[in-house]
């Protein structure tokens, strides 16, 4: 990557103090996002995808949380900034899209009011200018008749339309980075595709980088340039989308990809990863995936480090030869 | 919004009509309640009873009697007391109503201000020292009965410290606003504070709980991600949504208090309001006065609820369509 990264996360650790002991939600996450790059973070529920993004922006409000590591945005350390110092970054330079558009907007204000509120918080626009901009934004995200719709309340929109409003709001201040937390999970399938199309289109217009959190490998294949696969708060595999999707190296990624239903498949049963996701309360010292892994070895009691070349890293003890032989057996 | 208000007003009228029938039936058609016996006295002869029945129209069908009662109460306004014969009921209620209204409205201003402020302060400082402190004061204010608090206030301001700090406190009773606004406020100051203490405590606690809930909502996270200040998030987003439940609580409390529930405060401070009037009427079983007071009370409860519903629609756009 020739350009300096817009976001550089190093060894991010998020731990909640609970009665049952420390809960390690994120345990040593490191990745970079280059300008105009789309990075997908994928993993099962509870793998620490969302928490890592929220903690970066200081949106985890739990008094028992401890966040360590380093998050550099545009070369500036943003971890540990106060709310006041974060205000211009949140919404201004980093926009955020949430999972559930039904609850993400304040129910008692019109959508226009909420977009104007954000514009006025970060720019010197007058009310009239901000309103015009809000109408433009709504038109841009594909809301029909934006001049009337700007005065409607969130409950007067459908789920997909609400997500468009949230996207319009997130983009309102031309953020350099957009964080999308499962933006399509709460939507039906046809709407999902529309929202993804919209995001790709807007990404080109606005030249912003995107971090997209999802558990859907289909979304990754469609959107992402690079992929971070997370398991139990740890990165399992990082690489370019092509590399990770076509030539996955980590057994967990094999499982995830195997669980994607295919139209041409003749199998009635969906492939699943055996066992349950490991509880973040007792993550093993060694490889977190070892208990569910079919290729477990003695060395797996030691924690594997991310390694690899050409930017395709994975945390697994399997040697290249072992992988080749396993994969050739698995996919005839 | 206008059609909503109109619809709400019509349904309120309907409810009032139903209440008037129910109250009438309870007091005049319940077996064992014979108004004639009350009027005629304890050991009246059957002939006297029959005479009284005829004189008061109590021997006519119940339907006619209801209409007559409503006619006397609302149209002719000459309904008279059964106990103090000749004393008209309606002017009595009209005389007592402004006193209660003044007491409750003034107290409402105080308890809303203090309660909302307390709730916000506690919620904004959640987990710090000030939060449990405000909540403790709140629960203490809720736990103290109004009559006891009123008596203690009287004891301090009228007796123990009357010669020094509280020499300016008048000795109970009521002065009308038009007569002397300053004396009016002075006479009502301690009744206001006494009545407001209980409700301020409740409102502060309810609002704090609502705010703490609201601060965990998704829309608050969105507001934070938008880069708004914590103060703006608390006031413009969380408080705005939490006010909806405060308003409905307020409607019920205000209506009930205007309707006579401020009785204890009225008695302690010697304010001849509606609560006091109802109380004496109940002791004498003075049916016309009870009837008038109950209808008056229900009118304000229904009115307050209708106003709350309209306010609700104003505060919460989701209600307007339904």
pLDDT, tens digit (0-9, with 9 covering 90-100), for A281-324: 877 778 888 888 888 888 888 888 887 877 888 888 888 778 87
Contact A106 B223 (CB under 8 A): yes
Contact A59 B224 (CB under 8 A): yes
- The residues of B whose Cβ lies within 8 A of any Cβ of A are 127, 215, 217-219, 221-230, 236-237, 240-241, 315-318
The pLDDT of residue A115 is above 90: yes
What confidence score (pLDDT) does residue A262 get?
64
Collect all residues with Cβ–Cβ distance below 8 Å to B166 and sequence separation of at least 6. B156, B157, B158
Contact A87 B217 (CB under 8 A): no
ipTM above 0.95, yes or no: no
Out of B219, B227, B229, closest to residue A106 by CB: B219
Collect all residues with Cβ–Cβ distance below 8 Å to B287 and sequence separation of at least 6. B27, B28, B35, B38, B82
pTM, entire model: 0.84
Which residues, numbered 157 to 186 in chain A, qualify as contacts with chain B under a Cβ-Cβ cut-off of 8 Å?
166, 169-170
What confidence score (pLDDT) does residue A282 get?
77
B214 contacts in A (CB within 8 Å)? none
A153 touches A109 (CB < 8 A)? yes
- Top-confidence residue, A180 or B127: A180
Across A89-98, A113-122, B158-167, least confident range: B158-167
| Nearest chain A residue (CA) to B242 | A108
Contact A90 B226 (CB under 8 A): yes
| Nearest chain B residue (CA) to A170 | B226
Dihedral in degrees, nearest 10, Cα atoms B126, B130, B131, B136:
170
Across A263-272, B4-13, B114-123, B233-242, least confident range: A263-272
| Nearest chain B residue (CA) to A169 | B226
A83 contacts in B (CB within 8 Å)? 229-230
Chain B closest-CA separation from residue A121 CA (Å): 7
Contact B317 A169 (CB under 8 A): no
Asked if A82 reaches chain B (Cβ–Cβ under 8 Å), the answer is: no
Please report which confidence band the pLDDT of residue B177 belongs to, taking 50, 70 and 90 as the band edges.
confident
A86 contacts in B (CB within 8 Å)? 227
CB atoms within 10 A of CB B48: 14
Chain A closest-CA separation from residue B229 CA (Å): 7
What confidence score (pLDDT) does residue A265 get?
59
Residue labelled with tokens 């409503």: B70
Chain B closest-CA separation from residue A4 CA (Å): 25
Asked if A211 reaches chain B (Cβ–Cβ under 8 Å), the answer is: no
pLDDT digits (tens, 9 = 90+) for A61-114: 888 899 999 999 999 999 989 999 999 999 999 999 998 888 999 999 999 999
- Tell me the CA distances in angstroms from B68 to B44, B50, B77, B288, B292, one per residue in order: 25, 19, 11, 12, 14
% of chain A residues with pLDDT over 90:
45
Average pLDDT for A165-178: 92
B127 contacts in A (CB within 8 Å)? 63
What confidence score (pLDDT) does residue B86 get?
76
What confidence score (pLDDT) does residue A1 get?
46
Average pLDDT for A150-161: 92
A55 contacts in B (CB within 8 Å)? none
Nearest alpha-carbon partner for A131 in A146, A112, A108, A118: A112
Dihedral in degrees, nearest 10, Cα atoms A119, A120, A123, A126:
110
Contact A105 B222 (CB under 8 A): yes
Q: How many CB pairs under 8 A join A and B?
A: 77
| Nearest chain A residue (CA) to B222 | A104
Please report which confidence band the pLDDT of residue A332 belongs to, taking 50, 70 and 90 as the band edges.
very low
Out of B219, B230, B240, closest to residue A103 by CB: B219
Collect all residues with Cβ–Cβ distance below 8 Å to A9 and sequence separation of at least 6. A29, A30, A31, A32, A52, A56, A69, A70, A71, A72
| Nearest chain B residue (CA) to A179 | B225
A61 contacts in B (CB within 8 Å)? 215
| Nearest chain A residue (CA) to B216 | A61
- Alpha helices for chain A (secondary structure H): 49-56, 83-86, 111-122, 127-140, 146-149, 159-171, 189-206, 217-223, 241-246, 251-258, 320-330
Chain A closest-CA separation from residue B224 CA (Å): 7
Secondary structure class of A228 (helix, strand, coil): strand
Please report which confidence band the pLDDT of residue B301 belongs to, taking 50, 70 and 90 as the band edges.
confident
A112 contacts in B (CB within 8 Å)? none
CB atoms within 10 A of CB B19: 17
What confidence score (pLDDT) does residue B219 get?
94
For residues A149-175, one letter each, b for 16 or more C-beta atoms within 10 angstroms of the residue's C-beta and e for the rest, the string is bbebbbeebeebbbbbbbbbbbbbbeb
Out of A88, A90, A155, closest to residue B225 by CB: A90
Chain B closest-CA separation from residue A112 CA (Å): 14
- Tell me the CA distances in angstroms from A17 to A8, A28, A234, A285, one per residue in order: 26, 17, 18, 18
Average pLDDT across chain B, whole number: 87
Tokens of A52: 């890592």
Asked if A121 reaches chain B (Cβ–Cβ under 8 Å), the answer is: yes
Contact B237 A104 (CB under 8 A): no
Asked if A6 reaches chain B (Cβ–Cβ under 8 Å), the answer is: no
Mutation test of the interface with chain A: which of B226, B234, B321, choosing the one with the most A Cβ atoms within 10 A? B226
């Amino acid at each position: 990557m020739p350009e300096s990264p817009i976001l550089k996360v190093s060894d991010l650790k998020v731990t909640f103090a609970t009665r049952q002991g420390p809960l390690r939600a994120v345990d040593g996450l490191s990745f970079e996002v280059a300008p105009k790059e789309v990075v997908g973070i994928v993993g099962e529920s509870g793998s620490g995808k969302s928490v890592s993004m929220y903690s970066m922006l200081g949106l985890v409000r739990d008094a028992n949380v401890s966040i360590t590591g380093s998050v550099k945005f545009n070369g500036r350390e943003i971890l540990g900034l106060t709310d006041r110092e974060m205000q211009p970054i949140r919404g201004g330079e980093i926009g955020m899209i949430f999972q559930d558009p039904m609850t993400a907007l304040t129910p008692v204000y019109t959508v226009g009011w909420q977009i104007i509120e954000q514009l006025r918080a970060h720019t010197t626009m007058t009310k009239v200018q901000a309103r015009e901009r809000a109408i433009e934004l709504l038109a841009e995200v594909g809301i029909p008749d934006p001049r009337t719709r700007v005065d409607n309340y969130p409950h007067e929109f459908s789920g997909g339309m609400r997500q468009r409003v949230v996207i319009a709001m997130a983009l309102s201040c031309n953020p350099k980075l957009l964080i999308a937390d499962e933006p399509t999970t709460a939507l039906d399938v046809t709407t999902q595709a529309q929202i993804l199309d919209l995001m790709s289109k807007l990404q080109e217009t606005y030249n912003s980088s995107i971090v997209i959190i999802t558990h859907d490998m289909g979304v990754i294949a469609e959107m992402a340039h690079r992929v971070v696969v997370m398991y139990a708060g740890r990165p399992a595999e990082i690489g370019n989308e092509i590399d990770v999707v076509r030539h996955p190296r980590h057994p967990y990624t094999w499982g995830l990809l195997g669980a994607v239903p295919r139209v041409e498949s003749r199998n009635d049963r969906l492939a699943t990863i055996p066992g349950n996701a490991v509880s973040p309360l007792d993550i093993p010292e060694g490889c977190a995936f070892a208990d569910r892994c079919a290729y477990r070895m003695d060395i797996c009691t030691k924690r594997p480090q991310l390694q690899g070349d050409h930017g395709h890293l994975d945390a697994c003890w399997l040697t290249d030869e072992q992988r080749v032989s396993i994969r050739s057996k698995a996919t005839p | 919004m206008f059609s909503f208000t109109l619809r709400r007003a019509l349904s309120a009228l309907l409810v009032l009509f139903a209440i008037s029938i129910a109250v009438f039936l309870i007091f005049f058609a319940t077996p064992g309640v014979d108004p004639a016996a009350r009027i005629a006295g304890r050991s009246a002869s059957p002939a006297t009873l029959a005479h009284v029945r005829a004189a008061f129209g109590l021997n006519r069908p119940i339907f006619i009697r209801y209409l007559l009662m409503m006619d006397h109460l609302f149209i002719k306004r000459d309904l008279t007391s059964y106990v103090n014969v000749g004393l008209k009921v309606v002017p009595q209620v009209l005389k007592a109503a402004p006193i209660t209204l003044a007491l409750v409205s003034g107290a409402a201003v105080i308890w809303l201000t203090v309660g909302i402020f307390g709730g916000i302060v506690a919620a904004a400082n959640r987990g710090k020292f000030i939060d449990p402190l405000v909540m403790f004061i709140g629960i203490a204010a809720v736990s103290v009965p109004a009559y006891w608090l009123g008596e203690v206030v009287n004891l301090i301001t009228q007796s123990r410290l009357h010669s020094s700090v509280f020499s300016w406190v008048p000795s109970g009773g009521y002065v009308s606003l038009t007569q002397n606004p300053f004396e009016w406020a002075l006479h009502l100051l301690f009744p206001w504070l006494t009545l407001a203490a209980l409700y301020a405590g409740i409102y502060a606690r309810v609002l704090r709980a609502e705010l703490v809930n609201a601060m965990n909502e998704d829309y608050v996270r969105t507001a934070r991600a938008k880069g708004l200040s914590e103060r703006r998030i608390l006031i413009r987003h969380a408080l705005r949504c939490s006010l909806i439940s405060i308003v409905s609580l307020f409607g019920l409390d205000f209506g009930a208090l205007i309707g006579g529930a401020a009785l204890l405060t009225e008695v302690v401070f010697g304010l001849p309001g509606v609560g006091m009037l109802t109380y004496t009427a109940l002791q004498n079983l003075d049916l016309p006065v009870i009837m008038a007071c109950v209808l008056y009370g229900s009118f304000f409860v229904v009115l307050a609820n209708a106003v709350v519903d309209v306010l609700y629609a104003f505060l919460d756009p989701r209600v307007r369509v339904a």
